[in-house]
Amino acid sequence: MKYPTFAVRLVATGAALLAAIPALAAVPGILGGTTLGAAPAGPKTFALVATEGYSSQPDGASVYSWGYGCAAAPAGFAPAAMAAIGTCPLMQIPGPTMIVNEGDTVTVTLTNDLPVAAGNTSIVFSGLQVTATNGVAGVLTQEAAHGGTVTYSFTATKPGTYAYYSGTQGDLQIEMGLYGAVIVLPAQTATFANCTGATHAADAVYRLADAAYDHPQSCYDREYLFQLAEMESSIHDAALAQKTTCENLLAGNPGASCAPIAVNSEPYHPNYFLVNGRSMPDDMDANYAALLPNQPYNGNPHMHPHELVLVRVIGQGRIQHPLHIHGNHARVLARDGNMLLVPNDVNSPLPGGIARLAGPLIFTFPSVSGESVDAIFTWTGKGLNWDVYGHNPTSDAANNVVCIPDGDGYYTINSSPPAPRSAPNYGEWCADHDKPIPVTPPDPQIVANGLWYGGTPYLGLTESAAAGFPSTPLPPGTAKQNASAGYAFMWHSHDEREITTNDVFPGGMMMMLIVDPPAAVIDESK
């Protein structure tokens, strides 16, 4: 597993920690009827519309765009803990995340409310066997003419993460924002004894299921979906100009016809790089933020140490975006909904003869256009060689603060006696318990100011009782740290131009993974 070198480097400069940010992420989406996890699986119906609008960018630009949205109120929102704040406007980027069960019969009706000059539009569902009815014939699938509808039907035969996007004039329509995701939840997770759920009793359950696939090694505690795309604003400006010319012509000559929008998309020079339709720092605003009505999904993962985080990544743009993660490797579960398993696993299969995972450990997701990758990420502090909780050996002995290793060396429910899930050091790597940090942190005012600096290289360090244990004293003159402060790891595109917004750094395809201390409650609805 990769050492969290980004954190080590920041520790050396005194900027290892962040105060917890109350704008978190999850996999919010819409439901099409019946209950998630229902058995037998029921039909799901979705009514989508393709229409025009604007997306907001952190440089102040309002970019003319197209997107999928809800033609009518959806049957519900997921996860359940976020249903009260869910919205589905007529146009959003990405389009609504449609969440269904394995085995569901799914029907999606698309209405084309794009400008007349945009012509037909459609949806292609990557990796799913689709039957299309109504509409008019297109190159890749049936299409909806202006003002018309087309219906797509498929059976969600396999769990996983799938892309959907326009199959009509893709170099323009996908660029304009016509893309989204389908999440298919597995049917068999109830049989997996090791799917134990979130580690903090006070956290609401924001994951959509207990496991990503019908496989016991795909259990997870939290999940995040990152749809990576880009925009070249000059293409959007040209589309708006041609659309306006058409509408002006029709206003004076109702019987006239417009030439279809035709924009030269090569050479391609995108200047905005998006995570779930937003650029940094907007991607750290809350899901369904009122200031971003057409970009409802954020990208700002949080976790507790030792939790299993399901990372779903989809490449939605024309070019590949290498999403690079810091803090650890991630174990790939599947690509395009196809699990990567050991073939002919007869020597050491899991109990019941189940094949083991064969996916590689990666620290960069090569997000190929239209491809999805599902992986499990975790962080424990193992390898740093100091106690990330800042335990004080003398105080530990007096207060019976313990770290009892389980079979893998961590303090968990598998320790003997078991660690309570409310333990303030649940998931600690016990080999480093009570070890001091090998360097002296510098004066925080030298390297950083404000909430982006936690004051010390420890996880949730505080001298108050809120942390649940006495901690190593802070250097003289250093302010006490917020008990909910956590490690920050940058997750970003490894293509440097993609961490800019219109050529200004920082921005673009960048977000922060925050590792919160176990005592901190992670509220994904804010």
For 447-463, how does the pLDDT look when each residue is reduced to its tens digit (9 = 90+)? 444 444 444 566 655 54
Indicate the residue among 179, 209, 239 that finishes a domain: 209
- Secondary structure of residue 317 in the 3-state scheme: coil
Domains in the chain, number: 2
Residue 127 lies in a domain: yes
Residue 413 lies in a domain: yes
Residue 116 lies in a domain: yes
- Residues forming a β-bridge with 52: 66
Omega of the bond leading into 506 within 30 degrees of 0 (cis): yes
Count of Cβ atoms closer than 10 Å to residue 87 Cβ: 17
φ/ψ region of 112 (left if φ > 0, alpha if ψ in -120 to 50, else beta) reads: beta
φ/ψ region of 174 (left if φ > 0, alpha if ψ in -120 to 50, else beta) reads: alpha
Residue 14 lies in a domain: no
Residue 480 lies in a domain: no
Lowest-confidence segment of 25-39, 111-125, 219-233, 302-316 by average pLDDT: 25-39
Residue 115 lies in a domain: yes
Lowest-confidence segment of 75-79, 315-319, 471-475, 503-507 by average pLDDT: 471-475
Residue 517 lies in a domain: no
Count of Cβ atoms closer than 10 Å to residue 285 Cβ: 19
Q: Which of 187, 123, 179, 135 is nearest to 156 (CA)?
A: 187
- Helices (H) and strands (E) counted in the chain, each on its own, are 5, 26
Of residues 374 and 440, the one with the higher pLDDT is 374
Lowest-confidence segment of 29-33, 273-277, 291-295, 457-461 by average pLDDT: 457-461
Burial class for 406, CB neighbours closer than 10 Å (0-12, 13-18, 19+): middle
Q: How confident is the model at residue 190 (pLDDT cuts 50, 70, 90)?
A: low
- Asked if pLDDT for residue 58 goes beyond 80, the answer is yes
Residue 428 lies in a domain: yes
Indicate the residue among 400, 415, 435 that finishes a domain: 435
State the Cα–Cα distance between residues 219 and 274, nearest whole angstrom: 28
Q: Contact, 471 vs 392, CB < 8 A? A: yes
Cα 339 to its chain centre, rounded Å, is 19
Indicate the residue among 157, 181, 209 that finishes a domain: 209
Residues of the domain holding 107: 29-209
Question: Position of tokens 């708006």?
Answer: 240
Residue 206 pLDDT: 86
Task: Give the pLDDT confidence of 250-275 residue by residue, as tens digits.
Answer: 998 888 888 899 998 889 999 999 99
Residue 386 pLDDT: 83
State the Cα–Cα distance between residues 332 and 209, nearest whole angstrom: 18
> What pTM value is reported for the model?
0.89
For 348, half-sphere exposure in the C-beta direction (CA atoms, 13 angstrom radius) is 2
Residue 86 sits in a domain whose CATH number is 2.60.40.420
Mean pLDDT over residues 140-169, rounded?
96
